[in-house]
Every structure is written in structure tokens, then in C-alpha cells.
Amino acid sequence: MRPEVLGRPRRRLPRVVPGGRPGGRQTPETADRRGHHGHHRRRRGCRQRQETSPAGRILILLDSSFFIALADSKDRWHPSALRLRKKLAGPLVMSDLVVAEAVTVLGHRKGGRAARAVYEYIVDNCEIEYLDARTMPEVFQEFLRHDGTLSVADAHSAWLMSSRGIPEILSFDSDFDKVTGVERIR
């Protein structure tokens, strides 16, 4: 069950500002452009040159390593994640596989509460792209193109970047350096 159904307040990660306001809150203009939980709706399979938000800002793809480092103060990338969090301004996109990866690792490292806080933040503030039966063959081709050196989750992220024209990924995972045309923010 979702926490709001149980009458508990939602927890948020502070100071990530995808909606343009402190605390990650959406502006009324942003809320009007988004659907339930802030997910943008779009048809699959549409290839675009470089996708931008309605406000004209370039989309940024997020990797699980960013959220893991941000939530785990013992992670070696934690200071970098804190620094980058303050600079996030573009619309944020994630793969559903990356969400699962981040929540799983955080649940193991920090417990269920930390994992739930990150999950709720992601659902409320990021556009989540779901892997489905139509896109799986293309994602698997991306996986094979890298000869299995990328995880399927990373191959899905690389495919999303290619198919949607997203030029940047916020990640501490050096595997993305193998992907042509991807600029890794770290």
C-alpha cells in the first residue's frame, strides 16, 4: 500500500530541484504538464533528435549510482552526489530497471525506510520509462552491441538515451563511458 493511503506523510529527499522550486516541489505550470506522480506520457518508439522539456531544458537521465551515493553517506561517491544534487536543474528521466536497482541496493545497505524514501522521491519527481515487450528486443540489441559488458538495466538506459536523444546521464558507473554519444556527469 502507498503511504498516503495509510495516512502517513510522504518523505522526500531535500533540495533536488527538477520542478524549478526548492525541495523538488512542482510549480503549477509543471504539474499541468505532467500526469499522475509527475510522469510524462509519451508514445514509445518515437525517435527524436534531442528531447527537451516543455520549458526547453535538455533532459538528463539518472542512474541508480547517483541515488545510492546520495542516500548512503558511506558510499565513496557520496560527496560528489551531494555536490551534483545542488546543480540539478533539468527534467529528470529514469528507467524502471534503474529504479528497481537503486531501491534494491539501498534496501540492502540502509533498510526499507531509506529505500522507500528514495522510491517515493523518484516516483514523484522523475519521469520513469518502462521496459515493455515492444522495446525489449531493441534493449537486448543494445546489450549485445556491448557484448554483455553493460547490465540489462544499463543497456536500457543507453537505449533510452539514444532513442530519445538524451545527451547526458548522471552516473558514477564507468560502464557508460563505453557507450558512444553519452556524456557522463560525475
Binned at pLDDT 50, 70 and 90, residue 36 comes out as very low
- Give residue 57's pLDDT: 57
Element housing 30 (H / E): helix 28-33
Determine whether 32 is exposed, middle or buried from the number of CB atoms within 10 Å of its CB (0-12, 13-18, 19+): exposed
Separation of alpha carbons 178 and 166, rounded Å: 16
What is the reported pTM? 0.68
Residue 125 lies in a domain: yes
- Domain of 174, in residue numbers: 60-185
Q: What is the CATH number of the domain that holds 102?
A: 3.40.50.1010
Q: How many domains does the chain contain in total?
A: 1
Across the chain, mean pLDDT equals: 77
- For 66-112, what is each residue's pLDDT tens digit? 999 999 999 999 999 999 988 887 789 999 999 999 999 999 999 99
In this prediction, residue 180 carries a pLDDT of: 86
Beta pairing, strands 92-95 & 183-185: unpaired
Do the domain assignments include residue 96? Answer: yes
Inside any domain, residue 6:
no
Query: Is 149 a domain residue?
Result: yes
Establish if 74 belongs to a structural domain: yes
